[in-house]
Amino acid sequence: MNLEAFGLSRVGRVRSNNEDRFLVRHVGRGVLLAVADGIGGQYGGARAAGFAIQSFREFDAEAAPELALNRCMTKANESIYLHRVENPRLRHMGTTLTAVYADPFRAVYIHAGDSRFYLLRDATSTLVTRDHSTLRTMIETGDVTAAMARMHLERDSLEQCLGCPDLEPDRGELRLDAGDVLLVCTDGLYREVADDTMTRTLVGGVPLRLAILELAATALASGARDNFTMVSARI
């Protein structure tokens, strides 16, 4: 049984290069979704995101999904660290990484950074992951308000990423129902498009590919100040 799945990445209206990378891969009865948003400059960020996605292309379909995801994340982080050590130009390279393996019954995920994993069910969206950002911590502790967050100087500072010291990714699992839609995306999407708009577009009943293309058009029309990437699956 192949789940309906689709992904795309677009350069925004401000930047000329795209440091995002993504993966959509059918694995057995399930599908593997992953996005990576590189940091550390045009050269380093793109390479870090590329290393991350390449590691997840080696996802072991014979292993337990939790174990396979962890192995891919560990290998990606080691590859990025090695290139940082060997090349001074890459000393600031890193990337977010959010990956989900889903079959018709459950989704297993691993996550580091401020890319996001949403579960859309019955016209309601649930943010499954937590942003590993300095700004998110400041909001939770009350140091800044959500209204102040958009323009705050720390809005792009990450506490966790592949290539960051002492990587401790989040891991989790959730049960799935028929009709659920999974969305994994970079911050370039959710900073431009409201959660309710994403939900309304993706659960509207049109083929998933067309829904994703419509969502991309909405992001571009909203300004697309950053590149944006999204991968999605419908159960």
Domain boundaries, the chain: 4-234
pLDDT at 112 over 90: yes
160 Cα distance to chain centroid:
13
Q: Does domain 4-234 have CATH number 3.60.40.10?
A: yes
Identify the pLDDT of residue 224: 72
Mean pLDDT for the chain?
Answer: 88
1 — pLDDT class (breaks 50, 70, 90): low
pLDDT at 153 over 70: no
Q: What is the mean pLDDT of residues 23-38?
A: 95
pTM for the model stands at: 0.89
Query: Do residues 184 and 96 lie in contact, with contact meaning Cβ atoms separated by under 8 Å?
Result: no
Residue 76, C-beta contacts closer than 8 angstroms, at least 6 positions apart? 51, 52, 54, 55, 56, 97, 162
Identify the pLDDT of residue 14: 64
The percent of residues in the chain predicted with pLDDT above 70, rounded, is: 86
pLDDT at 43 over 80: no
204 vs 121, residue with greater confidence: 121
Q: What is the mean pLDDT of residues 48-68?
A: 96
Identify the pLDDT of residue 222: 86
The percent of residues in the chain predicted with pLDDT above 90, rounded, is: 67
Token pair for 15: 């930047």
